[in-house]
A and B are shown apart, each in its own frame.
Chain A
Amino acid sequence: MKKSLGQSILPYMLVAPAFIMIGVFLLYPMLHNLLLSFYDYSLASTERPFVGFDNYVKMLHEGRMWRAVSRTGVWTVVNLFFAIFIGVGCAFLLFSNFKGSNFLKSFILIPWILPSVITGYIFSLMMNEKAGVITWALRSSHLVDQNFSFFSNGVLSMVAAIMANVWRAFPFFTLMIYAKLCTIPTDQVEAAKLEGANPLQMFWYVYLAFIQDVLFSCIFLCFIWTFNAYDIMKVMTNGGPAETTTTMSILIQREAFSYFSLSNASTMSVIAFAIMLAIIIVFKTLASVWRRYNEK
């Protein structure tokens, strides 16, 4: 049956508002940001000369930027590792239906719901040198000396921020994986048990194989969020001490809103985007290779 003109353009009209919003609030700022990276532009300057790729050449030789990239890498990898480990562990724990698990399920999302700024402030207070409960607990149990402070050096400051971010991030993994586990076909589990599979084999060949799609999607999303994370680090450490916890997002924010050098900030953000995109492509390729290997 031949469609009328109205019927054929109706779908496009229905999605048009969403595309307009994406264009105005996403595409235009991204393109403008890319354009700014080819100029020498500061809010505090009167001129805006075109400099081509000079900004990129300058940034590629900028030690501060590459140190921030490496810190962002450490921050992202360590966060992901612990969020996956704890998140998957909690998901299986909830799936085991122990006594009280139904009660716990209601509270598991609380860290995820709290705004990350609030999480940062709470952890800062709990890790306060004089009055923090975590610091007090560590000192009382003699695991650290009496002058211990989470924010006394770069490594410990990073550890503190990672602790806060992992606490906030793991419920996402828990919820997604637990939801997937609830749909696992029981006949597969029973068949594996009948075949004599031990718990490790059950986990690797049955459960992990079943949840891998959801797990990859969660890792993918969490990677993007963690790579771009700003608020927790800003609130807890402000990138210090001595810039030892300054990640890419903090460096870009500082360049844009403390130094008002918009072209430098734009260039850094384009480079950060390119790095993230490259990692995502590699990750997706590896994930599809893994899936094909498992299917064989």
Chain B
Amino acid sequence: MMNRRVVLAGLAASPALLSAAPVRAGMAAASIEAPVEINFYNYNLATAGLGADATRKMLREFAELNPMIKVNGIGANAAGFIGRVQADLAARRQVDLVQVIFADLDFAVRSLGAKALEDLIPAGEMAANFEGIAPNGLRLGMLEGKTYGLAYTFSTPVLFYNADVFRAAGLDPEAPPRTWFAVKQAALAIKARTGKVGLATGILGPSAYDWLFQGVIRSNGGETISRDRKRMTFAEPASVEAVAMLRDLNDTGAMANLDTVGGMDSMAAGDVGMYLNTSAVQGALVAGAKGKYELRATTMPRFGDKPVRPNNSGSALVILSNDPIRQRAAWELMKFLTSKRGYTIITSEIGYLPLRTDIVNDPAYLGEWVKAHPLVQPNLEQLKVLEPWEAMPGANYRQIVKTMMDSVELSVTGKVDVAATLKAAQDVTQAMLPK
């Protein structure tokens, strides 16, 4: 299907190519010779605040550097974002560069026609651009060996904690808990001595999807889906053990069953001791903590001695254009947004992670900022061991995740048998995988 599209696109664009440099069939144009307009679908633009401002700033800077490329930033709400892109494609609108949430990556590749960079860009140019990006960072946007997306606005799970609550509970804020066992002890102490909620997490709840859950069970050696993406595996022993641990946290009262928004609000209000969620919410928590309590952060808890294996949250930039000239324009935009300058703005102004780790200590880019914002350290540490957020395959990918997470929620907060509940859901989701 993809080859047919590329050929058709090539044929359609051939008059335009007459004036351009000769290019291998199927690849993006070598350069931009005439003014071109592209559409950039972005969910930060559909919000008000830092995300939108920073994105507009980057687009302005890009426009100054590339006067021949006009970028239409189209803001679409994050919830239902991919549905919106799909609707526009169905309505035959031009979709060029898209900020795809990682969970939708497989869908974007198989159904929406996402282009692999290897197919569009000469190998030399790609390699030059990827210098400075850690290999595990590149892997985040890869599917079956090809690079479909570059991680753009993404972050890792971080354990925020309220230093004042720690002190009130007799805990030492300088030595936050690093293992799940220690977290449980700390949470129980907080609950007993201060009456506040010990631990809240962003693991459960439909809008949480499965990104944090994957990191939790992976840290215990489990997986949600097999490596060959043919079997659902979230009911296997390692995963069941991890879920049972969460169940124990719930049953002992260490972890409160707060919903996504409620958890974040409570943490911002100072009613919660520890909060495990994406580092992207740091800004909101800092605003709530200002002048009220001391907010700190550390890495995600580990299971005993096993290494912590977090995965990223967030989005990647993906090219969907079929026309070689627009592909080249989209690639130029992608390069800018994922350049050192791009990540500097993304990290310091929106609060996400830089894919290019070499700018972290570079005073010309993030050096000073990182020193002034110690809360970002745990995030940077986990960047080194980051693993990809697995996107489920097939047409039913969202229903698979929902069914899986429903069973996890039931197992953690209900009174059911964990192994049996997960197994039942695993069987249902197995049937939903593509044949």
Q: Indicate, yes or no, whether A interacts with B.
A: no
Interface residues of B (CB under 8 A from A): none
